Amino acid sequence: MAANLIESIVKILFIFSVNIGFFSPILGWVERKQSALMQDRVGANRADVCGFTLIGLFHPIADAIKVLTKEDFIPEGADRLFHTIAPFISLTPAIITFAVIPFGGQYELFGHHVNLIIADLDVGILFVFAFASLASFGSVLAGWSSNNNWSFLGGLRASAQMLSYEVVMGLNIIGVIMVYGTLRLSQIGAMQADFFNWGIFLQPVGFVLFFTCAIAENKRAPFDVAEAESELVAGYFTEYSGMKFVMFWMGEFLEIVTIGALVTTMFFGAWHLPFVSDQMLLNYFRFAGPNGAASLAIVVNIITFFSKVIFFIWLQMTIRWTLPRFRYDQVMRLGWKMFLPIALINIFITGVVILAK
């Protein structure tokens, strides 16, 4: 019992510190450097502590200090309660969804069964979707409670876009569920121990659609019509300043990580190296004794998983700085008239193939 408790607390602390402590500040820096790279610039590199600049890694800290000490503004006529809680609503789901994403296999460590996932729910995927849809409340409430036309339009656009793309995303997932026969993300991960069982080979169309819809769901360019600077000032968070405004960004960044993790788990072999199963890892590390082998295997699992996640983060950043923004009607047309039929056909073909096998 105590061991279980310790295991859970360690896992929660680990994921929390990786997400809040590492990814969310570092992604601000990555985004700036990536944009600088794409535009042939140097990017932020001047913030120094005692003369050390560390290629600009202090800039996120400077930004954090600045936004924390910036005036917190609530516009006249705004709904104070909803205006205040909206950023929290949009930040929380991005953190919570990580609870059901496995970042490693299951091992025996000191006679205790370790499962590298915080909550091994048997409806893992549904949990992810439930919380992903909660995130749209954040944008809608932010837009509505600000008492500002631009915010309101941004909130409307955000809700329409998120709802439409969630439909397609859900239909994509059905293909994955049919192939693997389970909703439990840790099982989906475990089934991809064999390289040719990776989701990308079984559901290639599903991967492309899911990845695109996930970016659209996150409202990042090329799908950032909800904050479209050229049309809506700053979209649904026009009236937010200081830390609350940055919370929307943190939510966005953490969602990038979550999307990377989901794509890795469902389509890119989760924590597995190609052609290397967990059992093979344990055999490699046999020299370290059973506990040592398990610990080393856990470390390899975690490094593999987060390397893949970081790759997908990089991919999303590159897409964001490469493509121009779609027009609003184009976004809607893409979602309903192209992705939805393709997703349905994908399900049909998946079904036929499974029956034929």
Partner 1 sequence: MIDTLKRKGGCSSCGGVDDDSRLLGGSVILTKLEAINNWGRKYSFFQYPFVTACCGMEFMSVCGPKYDLDRFGAALPRFSPRQADLLMVVGTISHKQAPILVKVYNQMAEPKWVFAFGVCAVSGGFYDNYATVQGIDTLIPVDIYVPGCPPRPEMVIDGLIKLQQKVMESRWSDYPKGASPVSNDK
Binding site for partner 1 (CB under 8 A): 32, 36, 39-51, 58-59, 61-67, 69-73, 229, 233-234, 237-242, 245
CB of 21 to partner 1, least distance (A): 18
24: number of Cβ within 10 Å:
24
Please enumerate in sequence order all residues whose Cβ is within 8 A of that of 171, keeping only pairs 6 or more positions apart, or say none. 340, 343, 344, 346, 347
Which run of H or of E encompasses 138?
A: helix 124-145
In terms of CB distance, is 48 or 194 closer to partner 1? 48
According to DSSP H, which parts of 183-288 are helical?
A: 185-190, 199-202, 204-217, 229-232, 242-267, 278-284
In terms of CB distance, is 143 or 335 closer to partner 1? 143
Separation between Cα atoms, residue 93 and residue 80, nearest integer Å: 22
Q: What is the pairing mode between strands 112-115 and 106-109?
A: antiparallel
CB of 219 to partner 1, least distance (A): 16
In terms of CB distance, is 59 or 272 closer to partner 1? 59
Separation between Cα atoms, residue 157 and residue 225, nearest integer Å: 7
In terms of CB distance, is 157 or 272 closer to partner 1? 157
CB of 84 to partner 1, least distance (A): 15
CB 103 within 8 A of CB 145: no
Alpha-carbon distance values, 222 to 163, 212, 291, 305, 328 (Å): 17, 10, 47, 27, 11
In terms of CB distance, is 148 or 258 closer to partner 1? 148
CB 269 within 8 A of CB 195: yes
CB of 37 to partner 1, least distance (A): 11
In terms of CB distance, is 240 or 339 closer to partner 1? 240
In terms of CB distance, is 84 or 182 closer to partner 1? 84
Q: Which tokens belong to 288?
A: 């370290």
Separation between Cα atoms, residue 116 and residue 107, nearest integer Å: 8
CB of 48 to partner 1, least distance (A): 5
CB of 50 to partner 1, least distance (A): 5
CB of 32 to partner 1, least distance (A): 7
Alpha-carbon distance values, 136 to 79, 82, 161, 212, 251 (Å): 18, 14, 9, 17, 11
In terms of CB distance, is 83 or 308 closer to partner 1? 83
CB of 316 to partner 1, least distance (A): 19
Closest among 319, 324, 328, 338 to 158, alpha carbons compared: 328
